[in-house]
Amino acid sequence: MYPSYLDAYNNGTLAKSTDKAFDLLGSCSICPRKCSVNRLENEIGFCKTGLKPRVCSYMAHHGEEPPISGSKGSGTIFFSYCNMSCAYCQNYEFSQQEEGREVDFNELAGFMIELQNLGCHNINLVTPTHVMPQILKALQIAVSKGLNIPLVYNTGGYEFPEMIKLLDGIVDIYLPDMRYADPETAAKLSMATDYPKYNRSSVKEMHRQVGIAKINDKDIIERGLIIRHLVLPNNLSGTEKTMKFIAQEISKDSFISLMSQYTPYYKAREFKEINRRITVKEYKVAQEIMEECGLYNGWTQDSGGHERFAGVNIKPIIREDN
């Protein structure tokens, strides 16, 4: 059945994954922070979130990659707080500060149903890592009420691969960042020294589950992996190392969203190396690296939005040599 979580709901896999994830909240170890607080009793760790998820907003979002937003929008739920602490976060008002409010599982399920009723192509879970068990609980409720559009797991990429494994057969579309290739940079800018290690292993697991992005004849993604890479000033994002990893250990057919939108928000002014926008040359170099690595599927970005590499509209083009 499609989406995959319908089978998971019917055969009990969704319930089992939910129970396993909830058990880990008792001494929280659902992400690499391993705070070990009892979130079932509302104890607070790095992500500042107890038992109930906190939501900033939900909407039909038209600004994602073309096959995610489509013509009717992506049903996006923005969760407050985060398991990262990026100095330059553009969403800092709700990722790092207190914007948003707590919701219970029934209300969260209701958001999903409402977004589906608006005609959205999918349910886009933004910053889901620290509330993944709660999302699964709400998903069970939403399915019982008729939810039948796919999930987009839209993550900053600081994940445990063991937790991603719990989503096998539940999530159809993964949209992770691959933000850093260097542990020292990840530590300095996001307080996450081990980000490259866990990010790479988790993205590999995502690819194992859903494979290359599959885009239908209506130009909407149905299943698969899209990797986001935000180009940072002074090559702090480690583009060459990341693209080589994708090409060599995932697939040269991978779809990549190469983002130029970096803006020095939040605490970026405290770091001189990121206290500016990227240059045209820096972005061009990142594009050239992708091509040198044989990566041609995906989107580049400019002031007008996303554009397809070698593109003809948003048809699913495979590498030019095919």
Q: What is the pLDDT of residue 310?
A: 37
Tokens of 152: 């987009």
124 CB-near residues (< 8 Å, 6+ apart): 61, 64, 68, 74, 75, 76, 77, 152, 154, 175
Of 112, 124, 108, which Cα lies nearest the Cα of 51?
108
Q: What is the pLDDT of residue 27?
A: 98
Query: The whole model's pTM is what?
Result: 0.94
Tokens of 267: 């605490």
Write b or e for each residue in 226-257: b if 16 or more Cβ atoms lie within 10 A of its Cβ, otherwise e. Answer: bbbbbbbbebbbbbbbbbbbbbeebebbbbbb
Q: What is the pLDDT of residue 307?
A: 55
Of 260, 242, 250, 246, which Cα lies nearest the Cα of 299?
260
Q: What is the pLDDT of residue 98?
A: 82
Tokens of 4: 């995959």
SS3 165: helix
Q: What is the pLDDT of residue 4?
A: 98
Alpha helices in 145-279 (DSSP H): 161-165, 183-190, 195-210, 239-245
Q: What is the pLDDT of residue 314?
A: 27
Alpha helices in the chain (DSSP H): 4-11, 13-25, 66-69, 92-95, 105-117, 132-144, 161-165, 183-190, 195-210, 239-245, 280-292
Q: Give the CA distances from residue 84 to residues 31, 52, 163, 222, in Å, rounded to whole numbers and listed in that order.
A: 10, 19, 16, 28
Q: What is the pLDDT of residue 97?
A: 86
Q: Are 157 and 25 in contact (CB under 8 A)?
A: no
DSSP 8-class letter at 210: H
Tens-digit pLDDT string for the chain (322 aa)? 999 999 999 999 999 999 999 999 999 999 999 999 999 999 999 999 999 999 999 999 999 999 999 999 999 999 999 999 999 999 888 899 889 999 999 999 999 999 999 999 999 999 999 999 999 999 999 999 999 999 999 999 999 999 999 999 999 999 999 999 999 999 999 999 999 999 999 999 999 999 999 999 999 999 999 999 999 999 999 999 999 999 999 999 999 999 999 999 999 999 999 999 999 999 999 999 999 999 999 999 874 455 544 332 222 222 233 2
